[in-house]
Amino acid sequence: MKKLIILCVILMLLMISLPTYAQKKGKLAQSGLTFLDIPVGTRATGMGDAYVSIGNDANAVFWNPAGIAFVTDREIVGNHAYWIADIKHESGAFAMNFGNIGVFGISFIMMDYGEFIGTRVSTTEEGFDRIGNFEPSEFAVGIAYARRVTDKFSFGIHGKFVSQDLGKSLTGYTEKELEEVENTIFEPAFDFGTIFYTGFKDLRIAMSARNFSREVSYRIESFPLPLTFSFGAAMNVLSLFNVEDHTLTLAIDALHPRDYPERINAGFEYWFGDIFAVRAGYKFVSDEEGYTAGIGLKQGIGDIKFMVDYSLSDFGRFDFVHRISIGSAF
């Protein structure tokens, strides 16, 4: 009966956390370099991005760097996303455990927008001149460190350099004043996070702050990065019934972004014998995104484990976003 009561309480907390009475505030377009907001990794996105307290692999560096503290040896993963508008989103991470020293990791994110036709305003009949094609690019590279201070508490930090290159442009008021200018940004940013296991089964709570930086200057304007504070909790509910060989982890995250209304992400992950996983989730208070789903497969060959994951996200009017991740632990 106690186990049933606890399970009901967890479900009630999930229900009352739904932003039924949430009000959408006009907190939009207040940051730049928003490619940093695009979710990374199929395990996380399959669970509706409720990953702050779940991540315990190399991809955790993108969500809560404290999560890489649970990498036991070495782990590498690559992620590919077919983002909206034919944009390709590539990312990857590597983490290595150095024993009592802690766990170190590296990461990268790269955006492929394709080729665009460059134009500028003119007095021609068309009203513009073609100035050649260009390929904008954005990327981020980082180094992370995490450590398990005790068997219950872990912390992590992720420092990264973020870049945006929009090509060259002509600026000036007259033909004589026209000057070719490089439109490039290169700035440092940081992520912080903690994970705390409460001691009750595997119930844990976690928090993270992502994309902390100074304001980025662009010519005469400046803007902040998409800073996001997240708080999450997760637990394998089957542990209440002493079920072995199967896990059913429920997770819920509360987000406080700089340039969007407060949000709630919820999801679950079911593992059958640590071999096959099924995931699903939902993102609340989102203009376009909603349901997500995913699957995962883990197979060991000797001391090496291979992981393949796939996720599908409903992006409303933009159709679906497909992602795939391939990784190895060795």
Model pTM?
A: 0.86
The answer to whether residue 251 is domain-embedded is yes
Q: How far apart are CA 309 and CA 330, in angstroms?
A: 18
Q: Number of structural domains, the chain?
A: 1
What pLDDT, on a 0 to 100 scale, did the predictor assign at position 29? 65
| Of residues 309, 256, 315, 328, the one with CA closest to residue 44 | 309
The answer to whether residue 49 is domain-embedded is yes
What pLDDT, on a 0 to 100 scale, did the predictor assign at position 237? 95
Q: What does the radius of gyration of the chain's CA atoms come to, in whole angstroms?
A: 22
Q: What is the dihedral angle through the alpha carbons of 248, 328, 313, 204, rounded to the nearest 10 degrees? A: 40
What pLDDT, on a 0 to 100 scale, did the predictor assign at position 75? 98
What pLDDT, on a 0 to 100 scale, did the predictor assign at position 297? 97
Beta bridge partners of 145: 104, 157
What pLDDT, on a 0 to 100 scale, did the predictor assign at position 287? 81
What pLDDT, on a 0 to 100 scale, did the predictor assign at position 16? 44
The answer to whether residue 26 is domain-embedded is no
The answer to whether residue 272 is domain-embedded is yes
The answer to whether residue 261 is domain-embedded is yes
Q: What is the dihedral angle through the alpha carbons of 27, 33, 35, 39, rounded to the nearest 10 degrees? A: -60
Q: Is 328 left (phi over 0), alpha (psi -120 to 50) or beta?
A: beta
Q: Residue 126 sits in a domain of what CATH number?
A: 2.40.160.40
The answer to whether residue 24 is domain-embedded is no
CB burial of residue 177 (10 Å; 0-12, 13-18, 19+): exposed
Phi, psi of 88 (to 5 degrees): -110, 135
What pLDDT, on a 0 to 100 scale, did the predictor assign at position 24? 45
C-alpha distance across the termini of the chain, in Å = 42
Along the chain (330 residues), what's the average pLDDT of each consecutive run of 10 residues?
51 47 53 92 97 96 98 97 93 97 98 86 79 87 97 97 81 55 83 96 95 84 90 95 92 91 94 94 90 96 94 91 96
47 lies in which domain range? Answer: 2-17+31-329
Per residue, the 3-state secondary structure of the chain, as one string, reads: CHHHHHHHHHHHHHHHCCCCCCCCCCCCCCCCCHHHHCCCCHHHHHCCCCCCCCCCCHHHHHCCHHHHHHCCCEEEEEEEEECHHHCEEEEEEEEEECHHHCEEEEEEEEEECCCEEEEEECCCCCCEEEEEEECCEEEEEEEEEEEECCCCEEEEEEEEEEEEEEEEEEECCCHHHCEEEEEEEEEEEEEEEEEEECCCCCCEEEEEEEEECCCEEECCEEECCCCEEEEEEEEEHHHHHCCCCEEEEEEEEEEEECCCCCEEEEEEEEEECCCEEEEEEEEECCCCCCEEEEEEEEEEECCEEEEEEEEEEECHHHCEEEEEEEEEEC
CB burial of residue 117 (10 Å; 0-12, 13-18, 19+): exposed
The answer to whether residue 25 is domain-embedded is no
Tokens 């409720």 belong to residue = 50
The answer to whether residue 286 is domain-embedded is yes
Q: What is the dihedral angle through the alpha carbons of 76, 49, 89, 222, rounded to the nearest 10 degrees? A: -110
